[in-house]
Amino acid sequence: MLSKYLLVLIVLFSQVSIAFIPNILQLPELPMFGDFNPNQLRRNFNKFIGIEPDYAREARMVLQIEDAVLDGEVEYLTLKNKNQVFSIYIQSELDKSKGGVIILHNRGQHANWGDLIKPLRVGLAEKGWDTLSVQMPVLDKQAKYYDYVSIFPYAHERIEAAINFYKQLGIDNIILIGHSCGAHMSMSYIDKFGDDKFSAYVGIGMGATDYKQKMVKPFPLDKMHIPVLDVFSENDFASVIRLAKFRKVLVEATGNTHSAQLVIENAGHYYQEQGAAKNLTNQVGIWLDTL
């Protein structure tokens, strides 16, 4: 057990240069990013601090894609503040559904993104899962990782709304899937609320940030109780690939024998290569069937 914790410490050191001071695990100061001090993001991590998503841009995106939804039904999820969030639901093609999948898209994309999200939500429905692709909060096109950290709490309430949607359908076997920034948002949710509402987690392209922008806080993979599938592509972003072995150690530290790490060959971070999204969907489906 001690060696397992030591491995976790080594991993965290590699991720964010953690300093170990007598019996206290501390995160060192993040380096300045130009004139911006990212340590304020860490102090306010997972807190509402008055910075809101770009709702006008989100409304324009939804207006553009809503009429183009041919596979599935548009569902508006109601948040606690009574605002509604666009999502797309597909019922399983099997007589008895295997469970419900919540899919969170990447930064700058949307709930029906054709390169990855649509193939994933449609393909998993064909494999027997109900799927719900949720529109995540957005910022302007120039926004980077550090900008998005401040609006992670707005993603949390959307994840909660998706969970409630399935609960109302009588579905308790819920899988959470996040791609890139969607993985950051889902990991921040689990960091704050835990993973007890899910049966498994799938992270795709985990750890992608922007140039010289370091992760504000390590993923809580070593604290999770459910099976985790860490998926990345053969030609993924350098940061995603570089941290793969460290993520693996964190996941293995939990002792969950169902957890795994998977590399999708002949694919990049956005799975735009021919057959890449289909291959990813097939591999995720195979892993889910082993649980």
Query: For residue 269, which amino acid is it?
Result: H
Would you state the pLDDT for residue 275? 97
Nearest C-alpha neighbor of 74 from the set 82, 86, 85, 83: 86
Would you state the pLDDT for residue 228? 98
Q: Is the pLDDT of residue 2 over 50?
A: no
Nearest C-alpha neighbor of 191 from the set 212, 215, 167: 215
Rounded to the nearest angstrom, the gap between the alpha carbon of residue 272 and the centroid of all alpha carbons in its chain is 19
Would you state the pLDDT for residue 22? 35
Task: Summarize the confidence of residues 207-218 as an average pLDDT.
Answer: 95
Percent of the residues in the chain that have a pLDDT greater than 70, as a whole number: 91
- For residue 197, count other CB atoms closer than 10 A to its CB: 18
DSSP lists the bridge partners of residue 230 as 203, 261
Q: Is the pLDDT of residue 88 over 70?
A: yes
Query: For residue 64, which amino acid is it?
Result: Q
Q: Is the pLDDT of residue 16 over 50?
A: no
- Helices and strands counted in the chain (H then E): 10, 10
Would you state the pLDDT for residue 26? 65
Residue 3: pLDDT band (50, 70, 90) is: very low
Which helix (H) or strand (E) segment is 189 a member of? Answer: helix 181-193
What is the fold of 2-289?
Rossmann fold (3.40.50)
Report the distance separating Cα 200 and Cα 184, nearest Å.
16
Q: Are 16 and 27 in contact (CB under 8 A)?
A: yes
Give the phi and the psi of residue 158 in degrees, each rounded to 5. Answer: -75, -40
Query: For residue 83, which amino acid is it?
Result: N
**What is the secondary structure of 203-233 as a DSSP string?**
EESTT---TT---SS---GGG--S-EEEEEE
Which tokens hold the place of 189? 């949710």
Q: Is the pLDDT of residue 72 over 50?
A: yes
Q: Are 89 and 83 in contact (CB under 8 A)?
A: no
Q: Is the pLDDT of residue 13 over 60?
A: no
Strand ranges across the sheet with 100-104: 73-78, 84-90, 130-134, 100-104, 174-179, 200-204, 228-235, 260-268
Report the distance separating Cα 280 and Cα 202, nearest Å.
11
Per-residue pLDDT of 110-148, as tens digits, reads 999 999 999 999 999 999 999 999 999 999 999 999 999
Would you state the pLDDT for residue 270? 97
Q: Is the pLDDT of residue 9 over 70?
A: no
Would you state the pLDDT for residue 27? 74
Would you state the pLDDT for residue 67? 92
Q: Is the pLDDT of residue 19 over 80?
A: no
Task: For residue 121, give the DSSP letter.
Answer: H
Q: Is the pLDDT of residue 283 over 90?
A: yes
Report the distance separating Cα 68 and Cα 46, nearest Å.
34
Task: Summarize the confidence of residues 90-99 as an average pLDDT.
Answer: 95
Residue 28: pLDDT band (50, 70, 90) is: confident
Residue 96: burial class (beta carbons within 10 Å; 0-12, 13-18, 19+):
exposed
